[in-house]
Each structure stands twice: as structure tokens, then as C-alpha cells.
Amino acid sequence: MTALTGKGHRENVPGGLLWKLAQSEEIEIQTRRDPKSPLHRTTIWIVPTERGVFVRSGDRKGRWYQEALANRRVTIRAGRRKVAARAQRARSTSVIRVVNAAYRAKYGRRWPDSAKDVVRRSRLGTTLRLIAT
């Protein structure tokens, strides 16, 4: 569990806004290469786990992913609700396994082929944990 954020909200825990947005099938991630760059929006999958909320890119060269690495400040939006977050690389193999299971559970029934793709070995290194700010 994560402690209170600077605003006093429990965004990173079950029941927090980031956690609630992670229940959505898809979210929009908003990224910028740096604070002065234009805003870029991309629709992606997101998963909540007991280890946090995670997203994964289809490609290490993908624009949103590269921007999230360059400028860790991102915004997650689902409908009218949004939350500012910091993107952090997930490197732990135990975390990656939990995230893989979450993707399979959340998306495997409805989109089995896409769910298999998102847990391919080549994509595991693009896993990012989102931490509400």
C-alpha cells in the first residue's frame, strides 16, 4: 500500500482514483517528452494488481512509452476522470509475473490473441508502474 499523496488522497490503493481508473478496459495516457513539448494522447490497456497499477507498451520505440521514460509525469484519463501519475520502470521478475497474470485475467477472455501478445517476452521490459502524484 502507498501512503497519502501530497494532496492527501489515497490514489494508489484500492479505492483510490488511480485504482478505479485501472478497472476500465482502456485508458488514455497523456505524455510529453518534456514540460514544453506538445501533449500526446494514446489509448492503452491498464491493470491493477496487489503490487500496484501497471501499463505496458507494444513496442520499446513507441512514442508514448519513450515520452514516459523521458518525462515520468503522465496523466491517466478514463472518461471525465483523470489522475496525474509518475511512471516507474518495473524490473522485478516477481512483479512482472503478477502483471502478466493480471493482463491475462483482465483481457484474456475477451481478446485472447491480444492478451497473449501483451505478455510476450519482448514486451515485458516495457512494463511501467504508475504512482499517483
User: What CATH number is given to the structural domain containing 62?
Assistant: 2.30.110.10
> Does residue 127 belong to any structural domain of this protein?
yes
Q: What is the pLDDT of residue 12?
A: 56
Q: Helices (DSSP H) in the chain: which residue ranges? A: 17-21, 63-70, 93-107, 112-118, 121-124
* Nine-digit cell string for 75: 496523466
Q: What is the pLDDT of residue 44?
A: 97
Q: How many domains does the chain have?
A: 1
> Does residue 41 belong to any structural domain of this protein?
yes
> Does residue 75 belong to any structural domain of this protein?
yes
> Does residue 6 belong to any structural domain of this protein?
no
Structural domain for 36, as ranges: 17-132
> Does residue 122 belong to any structural domain of this protein?
yes
pLDDT tens per residue, the chain (133 residues)?
333 444 444 455 556 899 999 999 999 999 999 999 999 999 999 999 999 999 999 999 999 999 999 999 999 999 999 999 999 999 999 999 999 999 999 999 999 999 999 999 999 999 999 999 9
Q: What is the pLDDT of residue 46?
A: 98
> Does residue 33 belong to any structural domain of this protein?
yes
Backbone angles phi, psi at 105, to 5 degrees: -65, -40
> Does residue 78 belong to any structural domain of this protein?
yes
Q: What is the pLDDT of residue 14?
A: 58
How far apart are alpha carbons 88 and 119 in whole angstroms?
Answer: 18
Q: What is the pLDDT of residue 2?
A: 39
Q: What is the pLDDT of residue 28?
A: 98
23 closest CA partner among 110, 128, 107: 107
Q: What is the pLDDT of residue 27?
A: 97
pTM of the predicted structure, to 2 decimals: 0.88
> Does residue 3 belong to any structural domain of this protein?
no
